[in-house]
Structure 1
Amino acid sequence: MEQNTVTVQDLIDNTNIEVYYGQQYMSKRVISETEISRPGLELTGYFDYYPYARVQLFGQTETSYARAMTADNRYHVLQKMCTEKTPAFVFSRGIQPSIEMRRAADKYQIPILGSSLTTTRVSNIITQYLEKVLSPRQSIHGVLVDVYGLGVLIKGDSGIGKSETALELIKNGHRLVADDRVDVFQQNEHTLVGEAPEILKNMMEVRGIGIIDVMNLFGASAVRTSMEISLIMNLKNWSPNEHYERIGTDSQSEQIFDVIVPSMTIPVKVGRNLANIIEVAAMDYRAKKMGYDAAARFEANLTGLIEKNSKSDATK
C-alpha cells in the first residue's frame, strides 16, 4: 500500500499552528508519520533511536533543558536533529526558538512553527490532523447518514434503494454524510470515520431525477462533512428461502480495517418502509448501548414463563 504524505504547508493550512521561520521551506518538507516526537533524550545527546521523520515538538521541559546548555553544545545537538527527512520543529506556549535553533534549521532548510497553546493541545491538534490525512483509506459503496447522532452506513446491491432510503431519512430530519461512495479511515483502534469524496460532497443521486444538491434543497442542517460509523445496515432483496432475524439475539458484525462494527441485514420487500426501520434500528442500538436489551428481556420473560408453567404442571 502506498504511503500517504502531506507537506508542512498542508499542516499550516488546516490547523491554527503559526509559522515562525522558514516559510520558503514548507512546501518542500513532507510529513509521513502521524506520531509526534518530544526530543528530550536527543537533547542529552542520545540519538540511537531518534525518530527523525516525525514532527519535533518542543514544550517547556525541552526548552528549559536546552537553555541550560552552552551555546556551542546546543547548536551541535540541534544540528544532529536536522536531517533530510525531519519535517519541522514546533514550539508550544508561545516559546521563541533560540538563535542556535534558527541557525541549524535555516542551514538544513527546516521550517520552525509555533503556537501559544499548551504543549498537550498543540500535540493533539497536530496528531488529529495527521491521523485523518495519513491513515489508510478504503472506499465503500454505500450511503452514510447521521441518524439520531449515530453514523449508519447503508450498504446493498446497486438499485436496491439505498439513496431513496437515505432521502426519506433526510426528509425526516436526519443528515447526509455521503452518497454512493463513502471514504472510510480508521481514526483510532476503536473508531472508523466516513466522509464523502470532495466531488460528491453534499450531492445525492436519485434514479429518475438525477443528481441533487442536498444542502441547497434541504438546508445546511441536512448535511455534515464526516461521521463516526457506528452501525452497518445491509439491504437485501427479500427471499422466502432466507432466514431473517426475528428476535434480535443473533448479533452480526463486520470488520473494516481493525475495527469491528455491529451490522444488521434488512430484507427489502414491497410495502416495507426502510427509513422507519433504520430509525428504529438506530434507536434500539442506542438503547442497547445504554444497557437496555429488548431481546434479552424477552428471553428472560420467556424463560420465566416456561419455569412457571413447569412448576404448575409438577403440582398437578
Structure 2
Amino acid sequence: MPSVSVQRLFTDNRERLDLCWLAGQQGSLRVVTVGALSDSTAGLIAHLNLTHPHRFQVLGAHEMAYLQSLDEGALATAWEGIFSSELVAIFLSEGCVLLPALAERAEQRSIPVMGASVDSTSVINQIRHYLSQELAEQESLHGVFMVILEVGVLITGDSGAGKSELALELITRGNGLVADDVVEFYRITPDTLQGRCPPLLRDFLEVRGLGLLNIRSIFGETAVRPRKNLKLIVHLERPSSGDLNTCERLPMGRQTQSILGVAIPRVVLPVAVGRNLAVLVEAATRNFILEQRGINSTQEFIDRQQQFMQESCAQGDSHEF
C-alpha cells in the first residue's frame, strides 16, 4: 500500500517550499497512507480547522494572530483541537515565529512542525498535489506504454504478438517510450490515470533477437518520457483462423477497458503478416483525437450513406410522376 513519511515529504518539498524543521523532528517517521485521500473522517491538508481535523494543519499569519488573541482557557481548547488523534504534522507558513506552547506540545507528542517561507495557500496546493501523486491507487499491467502524437497509449496483446517490435518502430517515427513490459498506473484524479515505469526497467526495451536496448542512449532524451496520462488502449490480437476476413470491418460500439475504476477507450487491431502496425496505431491515435473533438468518421460515413439513400428515394418518387 502506498505511503509517505513526513521525512520523505520534507525532503521532496524542501526546496520548493523552503522548508525547515522547527520542532518534533523525532516524529519524522510518521506516515500517511493511501486511505487518507478518501477518508471522510479527517481532511488531508487545509488552514486551521478546530472542528474538522486535518492530518496536516497549516498555520499562517491569520491563524497565528487568532491563536495569540485567545485567552488562556480558549487557547488550551484550541491546542487540543489542533493536536487531534489524526494529526500527522503542522506547517507554519509565511515565516511565522514558533510559539513556545506549540513547540512544547509538538515535542511532547512527537508531532513534526515544519516552517515554510511561502504563503499558506502555496503550501496547501503543493502538499495536496504531492500527496495525490504519491498516494494514488496503483495497478500494474503488462504491455508497452507509449506517447504517440502526445497521447498516452497502452499497447497490449499476448506474448509474441509483436508489441516491443511495434514500439521500436514507433520510436523511430518520433514517438516516445514510457515503459516496456510492466507499466504502473496511478489514479491521480477520479477520472485520470497516470502511467509510469518501474525504476528498474526505466529506459529499457526488450526486443527478441536484440535483447535489452537502452532507448535513451540509442535514440536520445526525447525518445523516453517519465510519465503520461493514459488515454487509449490498443490491443493486438491474432485472428483465431488467421484470416482477417473473420474480423469485424466496421466496429460500431466503442470498446472500453476499466482500470482502477476508470473506463479507457480500447481499439483492437488484428495482427497479420504484411500489416504495418505502426501506421495503424498512429491512425488509431489520430482517430481518437478526432473523436475527442466530436468527429466520428464511422458515424459521419453512416450519416452520408443515409442521406444518399434518402435523396435516391426522393428522386425515384419524382420520376414516377
2:8 corresponds in structure 1 to 10
SS of 2:155's equivalent in the other structure is: strand
* Maintained 8 Å contact 2:47/2:120: no
Equivalent position to 2:285, from 269, 282, 287:
282
2:40 corresponds in structure 1 to none
SS of 2:295's equivalent in the other structure is: coil
Aligned residue runs from structure 1 range 189-204, under 5 A: 189-204=190-205
Indicate whether 1:36 and 2:44 are aligned.
Answer: yes
SS of 2:79's equivalent in the other structure is: helix
Q: CA deviation at 1:290?
A: 1.6
Indicate whether 1:293 and 2:296 are aligned.
Answer: yes
Q: Deviations over 1:124-149 (max 9, x none)?
A: 22122212222221110001001111
* Maintained 8 Å contact 1:36/1:123: no
* Maintained 8 Å contact 1:7/1:29: yes
* Maintained 8 Å contact 1:182/1:194: yes
Q: Deviations over 1:209-250 (max 9, x none)?
A: 111111111111111111100000011013438854433532
2:269 corresponds in structure 1 to 266
1:65 corresponds in structure 2 to 66
How many residue pairs get aligned? The number is: 307
Q: CA deviation at 1:97?
A: 3.1
Aligned residue runs from structure 1 range 1-316, under 5 A: 3-15=1-13, 16-17=16-17, 18-22=19-23, 24-32=25-33, 33-34=36-37, 35-38=43-46, 40-42=48-50, 46=51, 49-51=52-54, 54-70=55-71, 73-82=74-83, 86-239=87-240, 240=243, 244-316=247-319
SS of 1:315's equivalent in the other structure is: helix
Q: CA deviation at 1:315?
A: 1.9
Q: CA deviation at 1:79?
A: 4.5
What is the CA–CA distance in structure 1 between the aligned matches of 2:97 and 2:153, rounded to whole Å? Answer: 46
SS of 1:265's equivalent in the other structure is: strand
What is the CA–CA distance in structure 2 between the aligned matches of 1:26 and 1:173, rounded to whole Å? Answer: 48
| Aligned-pair identity (%) | 30
What is the CA–CA distance in structure 1 between the aligned matches of 2:286 and 2:224, rounded to whole Å? Answer: 20
| Unaligned residue ranges in structure 1 (runs of 5+) | none
Q: Deviations over 1:75-126 (max 9, x none)?
A: 5532553356522101333333322222211221111123333333322221
Cα distance change, pair 278–85 in 1 and its aligned pair in 2 (3 A): same
| Unaligned residue ranges in structure 2 (runs of 5+) | 38-42
Deviates more, 1:185-194 or 1:90-99: 90-99
* Maintained 8 Å contact 1:232/1:262: yes
Q: CA deviation at 1:57?
A: 2.1
What is the CA–CA distance in structure 2 between the aligned matches of 1:211 and 1:295, rounded to whole Å? Answer: 40
Cα distance change, pair 110–83 in 1 and its aligned pair in 2 (3 A): same
Cα distance change, pair 227–24 in 1 and its aligned pair in 2 (3 A): same
SS of 2:188's equivalent in the other structure is: strand
* Maintained 8 Å contact 2:24/2:111: no
What is the CA–CA distance in structure 1 between the aligned matches of 2:245 and 2:186, rounded to whole Å? Answer: 33
What is the CA–CA distance in structure 1 between the aligned matches of 2:72 and 2:318, rounded to whole Å? Answer: 95
SS of 1:142's equivalent in the other structure is: strand
Q: Deviations over 1:57-89 (max 9, x none)?
A: 224443332232135643553255335652210
Cα distance change, pair 121–24 in 1 and its aligned pair in 2 (3 A): closer
Q: CA RMSD in A?
A: 2.2
* Maintained 8 Å contact 1:36/1:57: no
TM-score by length of 2: 0.88
